[in-house]
Structure 1
Amino acid sequence: MSTAVDSMQPENKSNRLVVRDESADALSVARKKLLAFRRSQARAFFDAAATVAELEKELGGLTSQVNLFRWLQRDVGFSAAEARSCIDFNHQFAGAAAEEVGDALVEGCVSQEAIRAFVKCDWQSKSETLIRLRRGDRVHAVAVERIRRENLTRALPHETIVQRERRAYFGQAARKLGMKTKASLEREANDILELLKQRDALAKDSGTDSIEAAKQCDVTSAIQKKARKTLTSLKTLFGKSTPPRPSVRGFFEGGAAEAALAGSWHELERLRDGKLDELSLVPGSGVAYLAGKISSAVVHLGVRSPVPVVPENMKFVDIDAGVGGMALGLRAAGFLPAAVFTAGGRQKIDLKKNMPLWDIEDRFTVDVKGVYSRLATQDIDVLTSGRPWHSYTNRREYLNNALDAVSTINPKVFVFEGRPEDSKDQPLAASFEELGYDVNWHSIDLGQFGIAQSKPRELIVGTRWGLDVDIKMPIIEPPLPSGLGRSLARLMSEHARNSSEDPVDRKKFRKAVGKWLGKRWNAPIPEFPLPKHNVKKSGWAALGIDISGFKQRPPTPEEFKKPFKLSVSMLKVLQGFPDVWEAEREHSFRSHPVAVSFPPSAARMVGMAIHAAMKEVDFDYRRACEHRLVHEVTARDITGLPIRLLETIPVSEFVGDRSRVFRISAEEVEKRRQQDLDHWPELKEVDDPEYRQSFTLV
């Protein structure tokens, strides 16, 4: 950053930037030293393991007389964990495989604690850990243990999993009031089951005998009384007066245990009211669940399988939305707007027309710092800006605004658009790193999303320290078809349909339009111009377009004979905006804010990638790209007047594997492991059961 630009800022901001640059240099130097130290620690472990392996070979047949595990602790000073890890690693890996695995763990700056966790875990977890290291992920001991536990859970039978869920769910509730309340509930539920058996037996043997009918009435009355008492115990144990999540979707957002509890609760209410004929598909299953006889229960609404619902409860803040491209994309990715700032004027008016329910602020008239402080208490998930840095005449001022927002609001993730040269600007990334974030640059190819642009977009993405979040931008392969002619085909022929010319001339114009579109059908477009910046117009002129400005209508036959100006509707299509998005009026004669905005269809992909990383959801990005962003609905305000609303498509529509909504499938883990083994031939021997058997631990 140049000194001349810094001198234009107020003194306090200039001093702050100098301090940031100095601290960034110090942090960078310290980071390199600490990473080198971490590598040396990892290398020391593998050197020790190699020495122990050589010792085992030299001892040969004497290993039965020498307890190597105890010798390492007694004479060398190893801890039990260190000694066991060295011995186990040598038994699991040998030769080239040991060197390959060791180099991977050293280059990944893995701690010795994480190495010991790696040695203890199963082979599938080892493979997945190595895959993550190969992809550049950070792997620590907690992450390795989490991988191991997830793989163990996946290998368990479904009945065992639901048993554990029930045990944990009821155990957590019992800790507050003691196990006596839980035991009382289970005993009362068992009594109801016995009464239900008696009622079923009487129903089979019943005839016209009045005595039998009276007995049935007595049993039914006893069931109602016992159900009333059991409901009281249930409410006491869980501290709730109503069933949890009474809606169909809500049953499955809290897990299988909560869904079964809700179904059992409703079944007890029907028993209390004497509505024994309105029970679930398996009468008494809810009571049996409360009694501990079964691990799951059928809910009373007859829902037979979980509904895959991705909760849309995460929040985002847009510090300068522009025309709302990034904000619209994040909303379509399942994020809710906590606050959206604009430059005021027509931008705020148009954005408010598009999204009247959003909290939209004019950043020039509102107390920005006060709003930032209020947002800091809401635990914001994503902070972004719809306008890129390079669209500002005073780029330094915008950077300071972004730093202030990140520092004050402290979001979990931030994402901003920059230029390719910004990714090489170390002080820029360091200024965010010193605020407590891991910073990475991502290059997004918009063409794969069906947007006819040749320029990749550069995004700086930061994740708060301590969050185990690995954000991977989606790749659509093969890419969706895109091109200038393909995108503008419908809009280019609008003038030919307005019947303002002679039919013969209109036919000629339609033929000329078809020829023009055919030549440019799959052609990508160059970069859009920035306000008050000179750009090379030759790329646009070669496509037959005058990019010096925009119009409100499609080209006429006369304008079509030479390079013509795009209409704002064409601009919106090329930038990935929906047709119903209003952004028509501002600066249409020279430049337009839509041209510098981040495409909302691409922003949805970025938002879904963040959503997938934070909530561990597997999305089908191709299906999302092929689906529209919003649909238009009509509602009424408080005065009864009709208003226009744009609703985004629920992100649950794009869940990849609906049977595994909140985790990567076992098949995908196996696929990734096989892909890694193809690149590491040495590990194929390690994965061979016969090879592993030769190193079985005693």
Structure 2
Amino acid sequence: MTDEEPSAEQETQATAPPAGEPNLRRYRDRASAAFYEVLDSINQVRMDRPGVSDDWIIDWLQREFEVFETEAVALAEFDAKLGAHATLLKSSKVSAAVIYAMLQSDFGTRRECLAAIDSGLRLTPPDVERIRHRHAAEARDPRVARQRRSAKIRSATLSVGSAAPYALKTNSRDLLRLLEAAATREAKMPWPVPGGPKGLMDRIRENAAVVAHFFQATFGERQSPRHRVSALAKKDIIEASFLEAWHVVSDLQRGAYSLDEIRSAFSDPVSSLFQCIAFLAEARSTVPLVRATRIDGTPPRDLLHVDLMAGIGGASLGLETAGFAPAALFEPSINARRILQDNRRVWPVIDGADVGDFLRQCDEISLPSVDLVTSGTIMMPFSPVGKERDYRRIVFEDFVRVARHFRPRALFFGVDLSMMTEANGPCRAEIEKAFDDLGYGSRWIEVKAARAGLPKMEPQFVLVAMSNPAIEKFEMPVILSPVRVSLWHAITRLGPSSLRSEHHDEDLGHWRMVLKTKLGDTLAPAFILPRGKFNLKEWEELGIDISALAEGPPTLDDLSRTFRLTRPMLASIYGFPLLWRLDAALDLERRQIDTTLSPIVAKMVGLALYPLLTGKSLNYEEALMTPLLHWPTRSELYFGPVPPPPLPRPPRIERYRPRRGTSDGS
């Protein structure tokens, strides 16, 4: 360390709070003690259950301690990475945040941090990040990157021979030439392959399949999921680069990129498409720009929205990570309100007999100016004018009434796929006219939510309405780095609760593999056909009966025949996170899940609206990668006062309804 660089101890003293401010040291010590108790609990579980897998430990931590997967993975890896130094860390009272930062770093960073702690220095998370960035910068150096990539290839050559790695490189170069030809072709130039644009895209998919084959022949059949790339990049940038390249090749093989998206990626300096293929082809000496998942990608909640027919919370859940805060929610179903209150006690759910009562209560509390009106329940086609008013028409008329009352700057709601059929053209025309009478221009938008992690193959449509000049500027941004979640992943990410209680925990891995063989990597088909009937045939081909829901998860024996989904599985397929609880309403109706707006769709539309409503720019893909349900977890609460104990679940929701104008909600 030079004389000009301050030590970590000097920086800690420089940032100490001035006199008169509250001293939070006791909370830090309490946080460290609680963190080490968690580690002791993990060690005790390993002793009580010899041979228990890390996957089981991770699922157990997510369920019991309500932490994100990255935190659970770090805790499960503590024994392997820092277990030998546990006595040093505990005696030095190293904080939980520092240990988390060390666990998510590479070996060189951990070694340097341990040496600093052993010498008596008190590190902070920024100190660990500075050390890690220095090591990462060294790894990104072209000479170092070339050496480490060559070492990785040589290691694979010793195991599988030289034929597969060489074929991987040569076929990657052919694929790179095809992609560059597709991106740089001028309008009047001949196509590089017969068949025009379709022939070129077919050739790219075929070549990507060959590259994927030789990649698996070189590095193994099984590869980690895509969401592990950012965590792996902190530990080994070369391993993360190969994993990112594998997923890019898989995307090309499935046809996830259109010709226009390939051209956009060619001109985008931070796009991973060309960087990853060039990395496999050894056509560049540096590693790809692996993008880490950033929690701070979420825009600040500068906007307010009203959620009419909120359902089980899909719209508001997605919008809260897109810069919107709920001003009021209305849901007539008591079961759905119980779910909203059980998951978000701070949401202003207004109990009203009907929409008129809801608007009256909003006027009584002087609701501020609203920026957006949306609905957590998708809009269904309704009866034409002149016929008897059905429930679906009443729902739409109530939505128009709320829009007329609040006069928001934007409106949107999801629509059922049957709304876009030719037979329902008059219904769409009536909706457009209703908004035109209010002074809004409207557009029907297809949201490609499958590229953002929604495990459903059916297209998702929404109607977006804004003032006529603004609606012309609205566009859904193109996702250049898609994230694909399969039906299998949506079901198995529920953790050990996917098995019945009478089964042993070690059956979980076998249960998942059996289900993987049954489902493969397919996406979920549509649940409801355009005429309102269940899509039984397509689901039966997957071995799943969707005519009814099961009370408990399927057993290993059930997987050998047709089985039924549970409510948590169904909610996961619709894009709800694992921690979104549905057990507050035991008699929740199936249709309340089938007609919900996916939070992923709501988030994508909200992020597209945010720049138009605020005038602020944002990184769309970075914000889209921010996980849903980003609220303080227990590990984050360690740095503040101990949170109060949770309130008991109310027998009646009205008893615990928060009232505005008071600080304690009483």
Query: What TM-score comes out, normalization by structure 2 length?
Result: 0.45
**Greater relative contact order structure (CA < 8 Å, 6+ sep):** 2
Query: What TM-score comes out, normalization by structure 1 length?
Result: 0.43
Larger Rg: 1
